Amino acid sequence: MSAESPISAAVDGQAGPPLLELKDVQMMFGGVMALRGVNHRVIAGRINSVIGPNGAGKTTLFNCISGLLKPTEGGVYLDGERIDGLPPHRIAQMGVSRTFQHVALFKHMTVLENVMVGRHPRTRSGFLAAGFRFPGMRREEGLIREEALSHLEFVGMGDLADIPAGSLPLGKQKILEIARALATGPKLVLLDEPAGGLNMKETEELGELIQRVCGKGVTVLLVEHDMNLVMDISHHILVLYFGEPLTEGPPSEVKANPAVIRAYLGESLTDPPAASSK
């Protein structure tokens, strides 16, 4: 079905080397093929979005990149280094962080502590250093707190530092997940439906925040159903349809692509593959 939108056509005009490269990534769950060979390059310094109807494999793709799933076939490369098959914490260490579609905060910890956990891959103190409060550990602890606070302030939640994360309204929880992800010091941050459950004003603020994140030099890969948001802020969009790239390109092109419209509205589409990813 993607015959009329060759992917190579959309790749031109992309500056710089790919930060993340997906080579023929396939993911099978039993007999179900959630990803049917995704080839894609994520260029650094931009807001890249992945869209597609429910079950297109967007979250599966994120899980394959962040290490929660190991692709059945194919490879994921970060700055040319292969990362698929590595455990998630190694991938985080290498500079890929993420948020979760269904908020996965540490609910009983404070807002600030949540972000402090995010500093984990950039800090070192272990059990002994912590237990005996070695001077190096105390210095590091002070830095962790400072950096976590600055990330909280960056997302505009500095005043909420000491309340339990679980008591925040959903909108704030989604933003806190972004602050926590940024605290890991990522090159690439994967945002999985950050606008889900947000009202219009919150979504607008989220859009501004994502642009500021990109402005800091962090590459964004965004999965989102809110098309206004995606079309407003994305530099580049990949459309997934039943586990396969349908097309990709800048928002204006993607929006006008008849294949994309068909995929979303289901018009006159014969023979849709009966696969689902979620």
Partner 1 sequence: MQKRDWLIFLAVAVFLAIFPFIAARISAISHYIDIMVFAGIFSIVSLGLCMLMGYAGQVSMAQAAFFGIGAYTSGILTSHFHWHPLPAIPIGCLLSAAVAWLVGVPALRLKGHYLAMATLGFGEIVHIVLNQEVEWTGGPSGLVDIPSLKILGVRISSEEAWYYIVWTAALCTLIFCFNVLRSRVGRALRAIHEEETAADAMGVPTARFKLQVFVLSAVLAAIAGSFYTHYVTFLNPGTFDLMWSIRFVLMVMLGGVQSLWGAVLGTVLLTFIGNEWLRVFADFDILVYGAILLLVALFLPDGLVSIFPKGRSASGNV
If binding means CB under 8 A, how many residues of this protein chain bind partner 1? 44
For the bound state, the minimum distance from the C-beta of residue 219 to partner 1, rounded and expressed in Å, comes to 17
CB nearer to partner 1: pick between 39 and 93: 93
In sequence order, the 6+-apart residues with CB closer than 8 A to the CB of 254 are: 51, 237, 239, 247, 248, 260
| Closest CB 185 distance from partner 1, rounded Å | 9
- Copy the structure tokens of residue 105: 């905060």
CA distance 211 to 46: 9
Q: Is 241 helix (H, G, I), strand (E, B) or coil?
A: strand
Nearest-approach distance from CB 195 to partner 1, in angstroms: 19
Q: 219: which strand partners?
A: 188
The verdict on 179 binding partner 1 (CB under 8 A) reads: no
String marking each residue 105-144 x if it binds partner 1 according to CB under 8 A? xxxxxx--x--xxxxxxxx-xxx--xxxx---x--xx--x
Compute CA distances 28 → 35, 93, 117, whole Å: 7, 27, 32
- Whether residue 171 contacts residue 199, with contact meaning beta carbons closer than 8 Å, is answered with yes
As a whole number of angstroms, the distance between CA 271 and CA 104 comes to 37
Least distance (Å) between residue 221 CB and partner 1: 14
**Interacting positions 71-90 with partner 1 (CB under 8 A):** 87-89
Query: Nearer Cβ to partner 1, position 39 or 150?
Result: 150
Task: Please say which residue, 136 or 272, places its beta carbon nearer to partner 1.
Answer: 136
Q: 40 or 119: whose CB is closer to partner 1?
A: 119
Q: Angle of helix 135-154 relative to helix 170-183, nearest 10 degrees?
A: 130
Exposure string of 167-194, with b = 16+ CB inside 10 Å and e = fewer, is: ebeebbbbbbbbbbbbbbbbbbbbbbbb
Closer residue to partner 1 (CB): 113 or 244: 113
Nearer of residues 58 and 98 to partner 1, judged by Cβ = 98
Contact footprint for partner 1 (CB under 8 A) = 66-68, 87-89, 92-93, 97-98, 100, 104-110, 113, 116-123, 125-127, 130-133, 137, 140-141, 144, 162-164, 180-181, 184
